[in-house]
Amino acid sequence: MTTNSKEDSLIPIYSVKTGKVELVEKIKKTDEEWKKILSKESYNVARHQGTELAFTGKYHDCHEDGIYECICCGTDLFDSNTKFDSGTGWPSFWQPIADENIKEHKDRNYGMIRTESLCARCDAHLGHVFDDGPKPTGLRYCMNSASLKLVKR
């Protein structure tokens, strides 16, 4: 039996502010609702798996200290301390804030098999994760600036 209680829509998300994993409500909006609150570019990238052109995003060459949040829902995604210059033209990180905050999905578009990174709370498309990153994880989370918002420390 399927129920639609509020408890069914609670998911674990790590909060930098509290330093704990908390149960929060999954965010679901219609396309029209997302269009009203996002810029055209952020809407196309985050809600329709778009990709901004390399070297055009506002965070690809950003060196400011802070936390990168989901542009759609504000979930903490990446710490600037894990950001590195991958030379790809997109902001790259070697690990997320917490595994709970990112979910992965096999992306078979464009004749390739890649691992798509999504916000666990609102399903926003963030970018892709590759296994060619630096130590200590060996991962490269290649993200779109249009899916992120930097909150400076």
Instruction: Give yes or no: 142 in active site.
Output: yes
Distance CA 43, CA 147 (A): 8
72 is in an annotated binding site: no
119 is in an annotated binding site: yes
Distance CA 68, CA 71 (A): 9
62 is in an annotated binding site: no
The single residue of 142, 143, 146, 148 carrying the catalytic annotation is 142
Residues 101, 106, 109, 112, CA torsion sign:
positive
73 is in an annotated binding site: yes
Distance CA 133, CA 105 (A): 19
Binding site listing for Zn(2+): 70, 73, 119, 122
Residues designated catalytic: 142
Positions at the binding site: 70, 73, 119, 122
